[in-house]
Each structure stands twice: as C-alpha cells, then as structure tokens.
Amino acid sequence: MSLKMGMVGGGAGSFIGSVHRMAARLDGNIEVVAGCFSSKPEKSISLAKEYGVPRAYSSYQEMFEAESKLPEGERIDFVSVVTPTGGHYEVIMEALKYGFNIVSDKPLCITIDQAKEIYDKVKETGVEFCLTHNYTGYPCVKDAKNLIESGAIGKVIRVTVEYPQGWLMGLPEADRKSAWRFDPTKGVSFTMADIGCHAANLAEYITGMRIKDVCADLQSIIAAPLDDDGTVLLKFDSGVKGVLWASSVLSGELNGLNIRVYCEKGFIAWRQEEPNKMFVKYLDKPDEIFRPGDGSLGEFAQGFVRLPAGHPEGFIEAFGNIYDEFAKTLEAKKKGEVYKGDYPTVEDGYHLVRFINKVLESNSKQAWVSVD
Amino acid sequence: MSLKMGMVGGGAGSFIGSVHRMAARLDGNIEVVAGCFSSKPEKSISLAKEYGVPRAYSSYQEMFEAESKLPEGERIDFVSVVTPTGGHYEVIMEALKYGFNIVSDKPLCITIDQAKEIYDKVKETGVEFCLTHNYTGYPCVKDAKNLIESGAIGKVIRVTVEYPQGWLMGLPEADRKSAWRFDPTKGVSFTMADIGCHAANLAEYITGMRIKDVCADLQSIIAAPLDDDGTVLLKFDSGVKGVLWASSVLSGELNGLNIRVYCEKGFIAWRQEEPNKMFVKYLDKPDEIFRPGDGSLGEFAQGFVRLPAGHPEGFIEAFGNIYDEFAKTLEAKKKGEVYKGDYPTVEDGYHLVRFINKVLESNSKQAWVSVD
Amino acid sequence: MSLKMGMVGGGAGSFIGSVHRMAARLDGNIEVVAGCFSSKPEKSISLAKEYGVPRAYSSYQEMFEAESKLPEGERIDFVSVVTPTGGHYEVIMEALKYGFNIVSDKPLCITIDQAKEIYDKVKETGVEFCLTHNYTGYPCVKDAKNLIESGAIGKVIRVTVEYPQGWLMGLPEADRKSAWRFDPTKGVSFTMADIGCHAANLAEYITGMRIKDVCADLQSIIAAPLDDDGTVLLKFDSGVKGVLWASSVLSGELNGLNIRVYCEKGFIAWRQEEPNKMFVKYLDKPDEIFRPGDGSLGEFAQGFVRLPAGHPEGFIEAFGNIYDEFAKTLEAKKKGEVYKGDYPTVEDGYHLVRFINKVLESNSKQAWVSVD
Amino acid sequence: MSLKMGMVGGGAGSFIGSVHRMAARLDGNIEVVAGCFSSKPEKSISLAKEYGVPRAYSSYQEMFEAESKLPEGERIDFVSVVTPTGGHYEVIMEALKYGFNIVSDKPLCITIDQAKEIYDKVKETGVEFCLTHNYTGYPCVKDAKNLIESGAIGKVIRVTVEYPQGWLMGLPEADRKSAWRFDPTKGVSFTMADIGCHAANLAEYITGMRIKDVCADLQSIIAAPLDDDGTVLLKFDSGVKGVLWASSVLSGELNGLNIRVYCEKGFIAWRQEEPNKMFVKYLDKPDEIFRPGDGSLGEFAQGFVRLPAGHPEGFIEAFGNIYDEFAKTLEAKKKGEVYKGDYPTVEDGYHLVRFINKVLESNSKQAWVSVD
C-alpha cells in the first residue's frame, strides 16, 4: 500500500522542500502526487515536473478543494506543509477544514494563540499530525531515549544541549535582507525559532521531561532586531536543571546539534554531525559506544536502521524515519488498526511555540519565566 | 527526463539489491520499471509489487527479449545486474546481445577469461558500462583524488589501504554453508573478491595509479577453502609501494574500509565509516579536515553533495552518486551530447578480476606475481 | 642555578601535594629542600624522608622562622602552599611577613576580604606570587591565547567553557563527610571554588577579557549545603556573552575541562583530556588541528614543549610549565634582570575569589550580579 | 631507598638522553650521580653541571673503573647506556666486566653476533638488564596485554602494527649527512632499527607471541643506502599472521605507533599519540574505551598510573614506568627479595636484533625468511 502526499511550499531554492521529498520517497511507501510550489500556475507546473510530481496547483486552497473531490485511493492522504513558518498557521487551518492529515515543518507557527488554535482544531478533527523535528528520527537518538526509560543508568540529573551553527556569518548581506527568516514582521525570533526549538525538542524527547521554566540571555550579532545567539538556563518539570544554547553566527560551526544527558550512573552523549555513534560513559567501568547494526542498539532503535553495521546513514534517512512512522500510522488507520508512530505531535508543536515565546520574554525581563 | 531501469537479481534477502534501488531512485531521475527478482513467476511478481516495480519477469532472457520490443521511451534504458557474482558473466553477455547499457555490481565476474570476453564485447558494442565500486561515490573520496591530481601535496610515495570487516564471525554456520559466496565451485575467492577489490579500486581511483605486482599472504579462518583474511604487498605501475589488507573475520570491525595516501608534502586519510571528513596532515603546518559544504572541498567534489554542511550524507547517497553519474552519461548520449560520468568502468572491472586472481596465485606461490 | 622550595601542606593522601613536587622537580631547576607536611614532628619527618626532602618542620611558622635565618643560597627561595583552601590565608600572610616569594594552590582563599588583604600585602612587599591555575600551562592553551591576540580569527563573539567532573558520585559517603572541601564552615562553595574558578581563569586567560557580570543557577545533589553543580551566564568586560558550567557529580565525566572561543572568522576548541590538540574551525576553509612540535604552534607556545612532535606531554608537564616560569622569574630577579613569567598572579586570585562569591550571590538572588 | 645511576652518552643535543634523565628522576627513587657525557673532560663536566649530575667522567672506561672502587651505597647501582646504537656493544660489554646492572636504549646492538655475545654474558653474570622499549610502559598497553592473557576476547587471530613517522622529510640535508643513524658503516638499517623494532616489540609484548617468519618489502626514499620505509608480512610462533609497517619519511606523521590485535570475540586498538585510551570492539555489543583511573583498567595496569582519571600522563611518565620497574627489581634484589619488574629484557633485545637483520635479509631475497 502506498500513501499519497501533497506538498505546500518547497519551491525553487527551498532546501527543506527537497529534503521532505527525498525523505518521503526513500522507503517506497509514499508517492508525492500533488503540490503547490508557486502561486504562478506555469511556475508551479514546471517545478512539479522537475520534481516528478503529477498534479500541480497554484494555491493551497485550490489544491485542497480539488484533491478533496478526488476518489479515495487517488486523492492525497496527507498534506506536507513546508512554507515559511509565517504561512504555517493559515495553510494548516485550511487543511484541517478538509480533514487532511498533516505533516508540518517546525516550528508549528509564530504565536502562542495560533498554536493553541491549531492544537484545538487538530484534537477536534482527530486527524494525524506530525511535526518534523527530524533529529528524533536518528536511531541513536531513539536508543538514547530507550536507555533513559530503562532506568539502567539511573535518573536524569542534568542536561546540556547545544545547537551551534555558523552559516549566517557566511550569508551575503543581500540574501539576509531578503530572507523571510530575518523579517521581524514575520516572526518573533530567528535562532530560537529556527534551531533552538530543535534543541529543546531533542532534550525533551530523550529525557521524557518537559521544560518548565527558562532564564534566557540572547544577543543579536547580525540578525537584529531578531536573536541570532543565546543561552537558556532550563528547569524541567521533574526539577532537573540544564542549559540550552543555540547560535547561527558561530563561524566554523556547521550543524552542531548535540546533547549530553547526565544520569546518576553515567551519561549519554550524542552529536548530530556523527549521528551513528552514541557514547555512554559510566562512573566505574569502560565507556561504551553504541552503533546501528552491531548488536548494541536496542530492538526498537535498531528497527529504524536500513543498512548493515558500518554503512553510514545520515540526515535524509533520519528524516525518512519520521515520514515512515507517519506513513505506518496512516496505513494502520486506513486498515482500521492502530499503530502509534514515533514522531513529534501537535502537542510538541504547541509546547515549543510557548518555549520560543517565553525564552524571548525571559530575555526581555532578564528573569526566570514559566513556559506553560 | 527520466531513465528507465530493469533489475536482474536483488530479490528477497538481498541487501545489495535494495541498496541499488534506493540509490537509483534517490535523485528522481531513474525509475525502476522492470525486474527479474526470481525464477518463479509468482514470486517475481510479488517482489516487484513490494518494490514498486511495474513489470515483472521470471528470467533475464525473457526480460531482455520483451523489453527490447517495447518502443523507446517505454523500454528500459539500462540493466542493473545484482545477481551473485557467479551469474554476472551470463547476464551481462546476454544483455550485451540486445545492446542494453549496463550497471553491474562488483566484481565484474569470476575468471580472467570471462572478464576479457565481457571487456571486448562492451568495447565492440559501445554500450555504457558502470561497475558499482560505490565507495568512489563519496564526495571526500573525489576530493582526495583531485587533491592528489593537483600536485599540491606532492607525488605519492606510499599507500596503505585496509578493508576490515567482522560479520562473517557472527554469521550462523547454517547460513554460511548455504551462501553462494562461500561455495568454492562458484568463485575463486571470498574476501579478496568481496571487499579486497573495493580496497584496490579505492587506492587506484584516488592515486590514479594501477597495481602492477602483488605479494600476498592469505588465510582462511572460517570460509575454508576460500580466503577470509589476507595481506597484499603492492607495487604500483609508478613504482610506488604499498600494502592492502582485507578481512571478513575480524570480530568488532564493521565496514572499516580506509585509506592513507602518503605524498611528499603530507598525507590524506579517509575512513568510510566517517565518510564526511577527509584528513590532510602536512609536514610543517596544522592538520586540515575537509568536509562537504563548508567551503573546503573543491568544486568538483562539492558537486556531489546534496545537503548543506553538517547534514550527514551516507552510504546510500554515495551509491546514488554512482547511479546519478551513469544517468547523466546516458541522458547526454540520448541527446547526442557527451558527458563523461565519474564511475568505475569495464576496464576497471577487467583489471580488478585480474587483481583478485593474481593475489590468489601469489599466495599459492608465496612469491611476487605480476597483475597484468 | 637551582632554586630552593619549601612546601606547606601536601602530606599523606594529598594528590595535589605530590603533583606540585613532581612539577617543581621536572626540569631540574627547583629543589624541594624543606617542608611542613604534618603538625606532628615525627610524621612530618617521615613524610619528608619519603618525599626526599631534607629539612622537615612541624609548623609553617617554625619553617618560615628557621629558614629565614639560613644564609642565602641555602634557605628557601619560595614557599609552595598546598594546604586546604581554608588554610591559605593564614599561611600566605605569615610567609609574606618574612618576604618569601609564594606559589599557592587555587583558589587564593575563601572570602573577598581575605583576598583583598593578601593582594594588598603582596603589592606592598613586592614578592613574586604565583597561583597554580595549572591548565594555562598547556602549550595549546598558550597558543590559543596567542591566536586570539593576533587577531587572525577576528574578535571574540561568544565563549562556552565547561568543567564537568564525576568523582564525587564515586566517593564513599564516609570520605565525603570527613573531607574539608565539603565542610561549609571551611568554605562558601564546593564546585565553583574547586573547579569553576579554573574554568573562569581559562576563559579569561585565553580571551584576555575579564568576567564582569554573572547570572548563576547552582544545585546541590550530594554536597549539600554546598554547590556541586551549576551553570553561570557570563558577561565579559568587553560586552561579549558566554556560558560557564561546572559539576562534580556527573558520573562518567573525568576531568573534562574544555573551552570553545568563538570569534568572527572561526573558533578555537580545546579539551584538557586531549591537551595536545587545538582545533580551529573556520567559516570557509578546512578545519585545522594544531599540535606541539609539528610546526603548527607559534614560537611562544612551542617554547613550553619538551619533546618532539607526537610524544604526548600531559598534566604534570603543564603544571611543570607554571613552576618553570615562576622559577625563571625568580632566577632573573636574583640576577637583577627582569623576566615576566607566564603564570597566574595574585590579581587573578583576588578576581577569582570575587567571581566565586558573586556566583553564589547571584544564585541566591536568582538575578544578575556584578563581579567587581 | 634511592638508587644511583650513571649515564653513558646523552650529551648535548641528545633528545633521548634528556628523556632518560627525566624518566629516571620522575618518581624520586633514582638519582643520577655520574655520567660520561663527552670524551672531552671539560665538556663532560659542564654538561654534568647543566644536568645536575655530581660526578663527571670523560670515558665510560674511566667511569666504570672509578665507580667500581667506590663503597656500596655511594657507587652507581646501574649504568644507563644512551650512546648511538653502534656504541652499545662495547659499552655494555665493558659494564658487564664490572658487574654493573644495565639499562640500555634500543636496539640492543647492530649485529646478531654482538647480540648473542651480550646475551650470553648477561646470563653468565646474572646482572639485571633492561632495554628501554618504552612504549610498553603505558598503562593501557599493559592492560591490553592483560586483556589478551585473560582470554576474555578469545585467541589472537591477526595483528596489524604500524609505526609511521615523518620527521626525516623535514630534516635539513646537512643534518642527515652528519647523523650517525644514516651512516651505513655504523648500522645495517635505519627505520627498521630505529622504530620497526619498537613496533615488533609492542606486538610481541601485548600478544605474548614471538615473530617467527618475515617477508619484507623495504624502500629508501631519502636515507639510501639504508631503509627508511617498509612493510613486513609476519608469521608468529603461534601460527597467527599479521603485518608490520614502519616509515620515517611520511610527511605529516608524527610518532604514530599504533596496534590492532584481532581476537576471536573482538579486537583491541591502541595509538601512542592518544595513549590514555584503549579501544575494545566486540562482535555483538557496544565498543568499549578503557582509560586510566576510571575503574576500567585492571589492577595491574592501574598500578602504573600516577594521577586521577582524566589527568593525562604521557611519554615521560610511560618511560618512567620502565625505569621504576627496573628500580623496584634492583631494590628488591638489594634486600634479598625478588621482584620481577615488567620491562623488556636482554632476551627481547637479542630477538629483536635478529628480527631487524632478518627483515633486511628477506627484503634482499624478496622471500620469506625465518627470524630464529
């Protein structure tokens, strides 16, 4: 059984649109059959052709309308929303009117009010909703979560999560000025919204805890008036403390998301740039390195590995795991079965929009602020 | 424009068949439209359905015959041969009768005579022929080649190439007994044919030199009477010396292909398990690490990168680069243009079959033997 | 010319006392000739014998008195203070009465008032004073400082410095109860005083900036009522922001002091556990790794290396560099020359005692606090 | 109790002489009391002063003669021989006449005949003899040996040992011409004698096996007519195969001695440049990293560690372990007790001189040659 996907956004120049298509197609169970890649009809058609997508639309409203009239089995099973963040709210709300299942890029939207509205509507309609915090798709991240859950290394006592990038320093000024990400009328935050939320999600996913309070110190080196670098002291709902920092202006950093989760008996360290290794260090025995395929990952995490040990999988494959779990959930639902896919949900999205906004509030007040 | 591919082999349980399909499909310019996945018609049909392949055949002869009668634009543009090595010769020779372009898994075939026959026929027919020594598809490997060619680190003075694996130690004995790779009636070598030839190809690709003489010492710890571990002293046509070793029985090793090419002014080190880093160490200045996307790779190598810096690509993506180069070559040819894709050829395949056989001969004689 | 040293503290079970002796003796220009290792005369004598130290005393007062009466060339040139921190103030003030030069372990003392008194007295007497923030003795740390100073990678824009340890989790409870470090009557802080000040000093040494404001969040998992883990948001006098965190309770961490200094054009990363590598990553060219002895370190830093490239030097050697610089300063002074040794001073000590105390104040207030 | 050492060689410009002195003095149980650092009396005296050595001699004959007449407790307990290799035979044979215990730098001497003579004389006199193959002094190397011995990872099935250096490429030609190492009248080999023998010794120490047959392919890029690079196929007395290679001309390599010992259940990897980590990788569970001080090393190996976990020890400390074991052996003997120190012996030295000479013979014959 193959699922049918319609994409909104992801046109020319969109890195993330191309990633969503490769990820969706990787395992042969999702076909990209429709797309609105541009508001100009001829442009949307030519991009659709270039991307190998049969049905092109020039507005998402048109796409939802037309697709909803197609017979089941032909019409799209879900919408993939990869527009700039500022557009998510409207596209998602419109898709929900038609009852389409949804995959949305992160963050969910801009304001807490928008997020609450989306959350309520998703709950009301009962559609499946997946937010592509793709870093939770890596097998080693899943194994880290399981290792914590197992209790084998004790309770969490501290968390350090970092997301340094440096690309903004290399971006020509002209590009910066024209980009939606840096337009303060289209978003409240640059770096915390772009990558800080990934770091928060990663920490919450692995530990099973929620960030409850934040004390932030942000700065803006290039993206003024928006933040492009900042540190956040964290308190989780469990009482555990930690620190999260993210930056887009650190020349030399690439895509350096990494986390260390410290527990009573040892700690877990994982780095996105070398994703096929999970380090576990203990108080009183040799460090361990877990890797896909060599018998070290638990059964659940190993289930997300496509290749034998030592054959590196990367970003696209991890992203594909998010899509594949969403696909399995939809497929089960179509068959009247239940499969609870392992992917971020609208609850996560709502929470993380609050996180972003409260970090900004804390920074303004130079004080601790509660997230929820 | 999209190319059409037909696959021979790669049925249930074939890791490499699945990799070939993912790699071929990754960039959206190759469709897998036909396949002979089993000699049982119903099995071939059900596998084709599982793999999302429209036309199923139960013999390669039938496939070539039927496809050749389809109109251009509908029939397959090339055949992908992923049967056990022992079957390559017959499938390839049959495909050549119909003038199909060919992608073949490595090694090309078993005996030197077979290899010569294939080589001669490919030259005679003028079809495009690609051998999937996929490790040359990694951007960092391509950059290593370019760095050597540039002369920036001087002439090559020594080569060390290793390919340690350990999976054979973990294979249940029953599986070992039933596997074609271990059947001495179906091949002259296990490890040298399986991975030693990859190591030789990698060294030759990066250095631009050919292995001329070999002095080998092989052993068989599990796969008797075939080799499963061995070291080969190398002399290249340039006079440069080196050492190649490969093993399938080294518990703890995963897919540890790695190379160090020593030149007058410094050396290059690359490891397949961490493919997105190329180390260059110099006599008298800081070591350097080259990575895709951060401005360190040359233009040619960077052209094989799909994602921004720090977003890891892996085995499937490198394999996809081989297919993509082959596709671009065929597409150009169809348009009457010339594009010389960067992928291993039938010359490489012929040479490496000689390499494998001469290594075995050297081991028997316990003496140096000439490859050509 | 050989200098003569007298040690106060560093008796049985003192790790740091033994390190000070090995470090002082490493380069053959310092003799340990006197020591007060215990308040029990016979114990002090037997320890002195074990340590190969000719003159044993049972009180520091007695030692200073007796040594001061010996002729120059025979009496000690300087005192090395390695008692528990709570004892530093009294020993140092007494040594200053006799005009002895001083090496003191860190931190300088407990309270800001004590630190000011010591600082004023050192300035008044004009003795040489060295504080063993030994991590600045590593050649790669010195090269990092020089690289920043050179301006070659632009101005500093952010600092992350971490000092995770885990040994406290492995300490038997009985030992914890009896140890001076955990006695709240003998100090205001555990972890910030023990290692947090090392992290602060390292950041200040490399960047040439001073920490001006702090916002701290500490916790106590084991060492209550003292801190054993905490994070500090930093603002430097230059306006640059950063984060420092330190912990003694992170099972699996050993002696993980590390720093990343982010500058406009790239960043420097250094880890104490692999001290012979300094990573420099740039916006748009290959990463670099600097190492002692291979031509990559600058002349100043290379001057602190004893062995050829690839022959690892470690903790004792770096500690020895602090002593050796102090010795060169004293030797020059004795000859009427001036040599400004590269080692932490009483100014550093005074500032860092303020840092420790202000971090605690910030934590109590849950607010930003000024250090000076 | 402190032992007294006399040094022969190790004068101005001798890196290894200075290392021997630092190593001998590190643990406070050996005093360097005599030395012949030059054949010119005034030079020997001034160097002795610089090195802090009380008694200077201008010939080793004079030193042995004079020292032998001193009362016990004053005269030297052992001689440390750090002359160029060509001088070892004569110095050692002379020292043996007086019954001095001996520490000698490696290799033992030049020819197999000399080695046999030394070996026989040492056995006859019963003195203690230590050969400074210092790399066996690292705690992680000792733990590797113990791990193999324990049988926990099964029998050895393959060995790869490498010793790449590059310094020769950076040596000015004038220095090369004047250096004893490159003088073919003073030795039969350059690289195999200088470092190849270290690699052989390391492999034999860890595995407990002896190299029985060799098949070598050497080359000379700079040091002609002596070898400066080469690969040796190995057969051990147990039947296990392996490969050893060493080079002095690999620009960019520093002191890259490293070994991988493959066993039935996993393998051990160790690199001299990062000596405080021992990797153990298994067939079917997480990799492990063993480090001094964190509870991962066995009791024996941990006994050679001076500092807490995470405080790096290096080359001098490992070298010091060799001296310390020799000292403990002598001290026990003086007390009429027996302590069997863990250091290379005259048997090792004799065997390794045969190894070096037989590697050269194999290279000349281009054939397998037996070592013993």
Residue B52's CATH number = 3.40.50.720
* β partners of residue A242: A159, A234
Cα pseudo-dihedral A348, A349, A353, A359, rounded to 10: 40
Of A51, A275, A295, Cβ closest to residue B312: A275
Q: What number is the ipTM of this complex?
A: 0.96
| Burial (Cβ within 10 Å: 0-12, 13-18, ≥19) of residue C66 | middle
Question: Cα dihedral sign for A307, A310, A316, A318?
Answer: positive
D152 and D110 share a domain?
no
List chain A residues with CB under 8 Å of D284: 294-295
How far apart (Å, rounded) are the C-alpha atoms in residues B269 and B281?
A: 8
* Digit-coded pLDDT (tens) for D328-352: 999 999 999 999 999 999 999 999 9
Residue C1 has pLDDT above 70, yes or no: no
- Binary contact (B167, A309; C-beta < 8 A): yes
List chain D residues with CB under 8 Å of A295: 283-285
Q: What would the two tokens of residue B207 be?
A: 């250095």
pLDDT cut 90: percent of chain A above it: 89
Residues spanned by the domain of D363 = 137-308+351-370
- B276-282: list long-range contacts, CB under 8 Å, 24+ apart: B276/A273, B276/B139, B276/B140, B276/B312, B276/B313, B277/B140, B278/B140, B278/B143, B278/B144, B280/B147, B280/B153, B280/C286, B280/D252, B281/D251, B281/D252, B281/D253, B282/B153, B282/D251, B282/D252
How far apart (Å, rounded) are the C-alpha atoms in residues A198 and C198?
A: 32
Distances from the Cα of C362 to the Cα of C234, C342, C367, C369, D183, angstroms: 11, 32, 5, 5, 69
Residue C63 has pLDDT above 70, yes or no: yes
B145 and B119 share a domain?
no
Question: Which residue shows structure tokens 């011995």?
Answer: D149
Interface with chain D: mutation pick from B147, B153, B156, B158, highest number of D CBs within 10 Å: B158
Interface with chain B: mutation pick from C146, C268, C294, highest number of B CBs within 10 Å: C294
Helix, strand or coil for residue C50? helix
Of D283, D284, D296, Cβ closest to residue A286: D296
C69 and C100 share a domain?
yes
How far apart (Å, rounded) are the C-alpha atoms in residues B220 and B184?
A: 13
Of D170, D308, D314, Cβ closest to residue C317: D314
| Burial (Cβ within 10 Å: 0-12, 13-18, ≥19) of residue A205 | buried
Of D2, D22, D274, Cβ closest to residue C274: D274
Mean model confidence pLDDT for chain B: 95
How far apart (Å, rounded) are the C-alpha atoms in residues A338 and A75?
A: 22
Residue B325 has pLDDT above 90, yes or no: yes
Q: Which residue of D has its CA nearest to B245?
A: D243
Residue C206 in domain = yes
pLDDT of residue A303: 97
* Digit-coded pLDDT (tens) for C64-108: 999 999 999 899 999 999 999 999 999 999 999 999 999 999 999
Residue C72 in domain = yes
User: Which backbone phi and psi does C31 adopt, to 5 degrees?
Assistant: -110, 135
- Binary contact (B289, C286; C-beta < 8 A): yes
CA distance B54 to chain A (A): 13
CA distance B142 to chain C (A): 16
Pick from C16, C26, C41, C23: nearest CA to C106: C16
B272 and B193 share a domain?
yes
Q: Which residue of C has its CA nearest to D29?
A: C52
The DSSP result for B76-144, as a single string, is: -SEEEEES-HHHHHHHHHHHHHTT-EEEEPSS--SSHHHHHHHHHHHHHHT--EEE--GGGGSHHHHHH
Lowest mean pLDDT among B145-159, C302-316, D21-35, D242-256: D21-35
Strands A287-290 and A266-271: unpaired
A179 and A298 share a domain?
yes
- Calculate the CA C151 to chain-centre distance: 26
Residues of C at the A interface, defined by Cβ within 8 angstroms? 154, 157-158, 160, 162, 166, 169-170, 215, 217, 219, 221, 229, 231, 233, 241-243, 245, 247, 249-253, 262-267, 280-284, 287, 366-368
Interface with chain B: mutation pick from A3, A317, A321, A324, highest number of B CBs within 10 Å: A317
How far apart (Å, rounded) are the C-alpha atoms in residues A202 and A211?
A: 11
A118 and A266 share a domain?
no
* Digit-coded pLDDT (tens) for A59-111: 999 999 999 999 998 999 999 999 999 999 999 999 999 999 999 999 999 99
C36 and C116 share a domain?
yes
Interface with chain D: mutation pick from C20, C22, C135, C297, highest number of D CBs within 10 Å: C22
- Among B75, B110, B127, the domain-final residue is B127
* Digit-coded pLDDT (tens) for C148-164: 999 999 999 999 999 99
Question: Which residue shows structure tokens 């003159």?
Answer: C55
User: Which backbone phi and psi does A123 adopt, to 5 degrees?
Assistant: -60, -40
3-state helix, strand, coil in chain C (%, to 5): 40, 25, 35
- Binary contact (B22, A25; C-beta < 8 A): no
List chain A residues with CB under 8 Å of D289: 286-289
pLDDT of residue A13: 76
Scored b (16 or more CB within 10 A) or e, D268-286 reads: bbbbbbbbbbbbbbbbeeb
Residues of A at the C interface, defined by Cβ within 8 angstroms? 154, 157-158, 160, 162, 166, 169-170, 215, 217, 219, 221, 229, 231, 233, 241-243, 245, 247, 249-253, 262-267, 280-284, 287, 366-368
Scored b (16 or more CB within 10 A) or e, C323-361 reads: bbbbbbbbbebeeeeeeebbbbbbebbbbbbbbbbbbbb
Residue C326 in domain = no
Question: Which residue shows structure tokens 């993939």?
Answer: A80
Q: What would the two tokens of residue C110 be?
A: 């407990």
How far apart (Å, rounded) are the C-alpha atoms in residues D218 and D226?
A: 9
How far apart (Å, rounded) are the C-alpha atoms in residues A290 and B266?
A: 33
Q: Which residue of C has its CA nearest to D163?
A: C310
- Binary contact (C307, D315; C-beta < 8 A): yes
Do C318 and C137 contact (CB within 8 A), yes or no?
yes
Q: Which residue of D has its CA nearest to C275?
A: D312
Give residue B122's pLDDT band: very low, low, confident or very high (50, 70, 90): very high
Give the Cα-Cα-Cα angle C247, C252, C256 (nearest 5 degrees): 55
B197 and B237 share a domain?
yes
List chain C residues with CB under 8 Å of A160: 162, 245
Do C192 and C229 contact (CB within 8 A), yes or no?
no
List chain C residues with CB under 8 Å of B290: 286
How far apart (Å, rounded) are the C-alpha atoms in residues A153 and A131?
A: 30
| Burial (Cβ within 10 Å: 0-12, 13-18, ≥19) of residue C70 | middle
* Digit-coded pLDDT (tens) for B208-225: 999 999 999 999 999 889
CA distance B170 to chain A (A): 10
- Binary contact (A254, B310; C-beta < 8 A): yes
- Calculate the CA A80 to chain-centre distance: 13
- Among B81, B108, B127, the domain-final residue is B127
D39 and D146 share a domain?
no
pLDDT of residue D15: 87
Of A284, A287, A294, Cβ closest to residue D288: A287
Mean model confidence pLDDT for chain D: 95
List chain B residues with CB under 8 Å of D160: 162, 245
Do B24 and B80 contact (CB within 8 A), yes or no?
yes
C17 and C123 share a domain?
yes
Q: What would the two tokens of residue C4 be?
A: 């003569």
Interface with chain A: mutation pick from C158, C212, C289, highest number of A CBs within 10 Å: C158
Q: Which residue of C has its CA nearest to A250?
A: C262
Residue D323 in domain = no
- Binary contact (B280, C289; C-beta < 8 A): no
- Binary contact (A313, B310; C-beta < 8 A): no
Residue D168's CATH number = 3.30.360.10
Q: What would the two tokens of residue D372 be?
A: 């013993």
How far apart (Å, rounded) are the C-alpha atoms in residues B61 and B241?
A: 45
- Calculate the CA A49 to chain-centre distance: 27
Pick from A66, A79, A142, A73: nearest CA to A331: A73
- Binary contact (C256, D310; C-beta < 8 A): yes
Q: Which residue of C has its CA nearest to B284?
A: C295
Q: Which residue of C has its CA nearest to A214?
A: C217
| Best-predicted range by mean pLDDT (A52-56, C343-347, D12-16) | C343-347
Of D283, D287, D368, Cβ closest to residue B166: D283
- Among D73, D97, D127, the domain-final residue is D127
The DSSP result for A61-98, as a single string, is: HHHHHHHHHSPTTTS-SEEEEES-HHHHHHHHHHHHHT
Residue A62 in domain = yes
Pick from D60, D20, D72, D54: nearest CA to D316: D20
Mean pLDDT over D276-296 rounds to 96
Of A158, A231, A252, Cβ closest to residue C243: A231
Residue B111 in domain = yes
* Digit-coded pLDDT (tens) for D196-248: 999 999 999 999 999 999 999 999 999 889 999 999 999 999 999 999 999 99
CA distance C282 to chain A (A): 4
- Binary contact (B288, C284; C-beta < 8 A): no
Count of beta carbons in the 10 Å neighbourhood of residue C124: 9
CA distance B155 to chain C (A): 21
C54 and C89 share a domain?
yes
Q: What would the two tokens of residue B213 be?
A: 């003489």
Do C122 and C47 contact (CB within 8 A), yes or no?
no
- Binary contact (A313, B316; C-beta < 8 A): yes
Do A38 and A11 contact (CB within 8 A), yes or no?
yes
E strand or H helix that includes residue A146 = helix A139-150
Q: What would the two tokens of residue A330 be?
A: 């939809």
- The single-letter code of the amino acid at B202 is L
- Calculate the CA B96 to chain-centre distance: 20
- A298-302: list long-range contacts, CB under 8 Å, 24+ apart: A298/A143, A298/A146, A298/A147, A300/A142, A300/A143, A300/A146, A301/A139, A301/A140, A301/A142, A301/A143, A301/A146, A302/A139
- Calculate the CA A279 to chain-centre distance: 23
How far apart (Å, rounded) are the C-alpha atoms in residues D134 and D105?
A: 9
Q: Which residues contact D189 (CB under 8 A, 6 or more apart)?
A: D196, D226, D227, D356, D357, D359, D360
Q: What domain count does chain A have?
A: 2
How far apart (Å, rounded) are the C-alpha atoms in residues C121 and B148?
A: 63
Q: Which residues contact B50 (CB under 8 A, 6 or more apart)?
A: none
pLDDT of residue D52: 85
Neighbours of chain D (3+ CB pairs under 8 A): A, B, C
Q: Which residue of A has its CA nearest to B51?
A: A28
B273 and B227 share a domain?
yes
Neighbours of chain A (3+ CB pairs under 8 A): B, C, D
Strands A211-219 and A156-164: unpaired
pLDDT of residue A334: 93
Residue B339 in domain = no
Mean pLDDT over C278-299 rounds to 96
pLDDT of residue A96: 98
pLDDT of residue B50: 87
Residue A342 in domain = no
How far apart (Å, rounded) are the C-alpha atoms in residues A175 and A64?
A: 32
Question: Which residue shows structure tokens 């250095």?
Answer: B207
- Binary contact (C287, B288; C-beta < 8 A): yes
Mean pLDDT over D173-178 rounds to 80
pLDDT of residue D178: 74
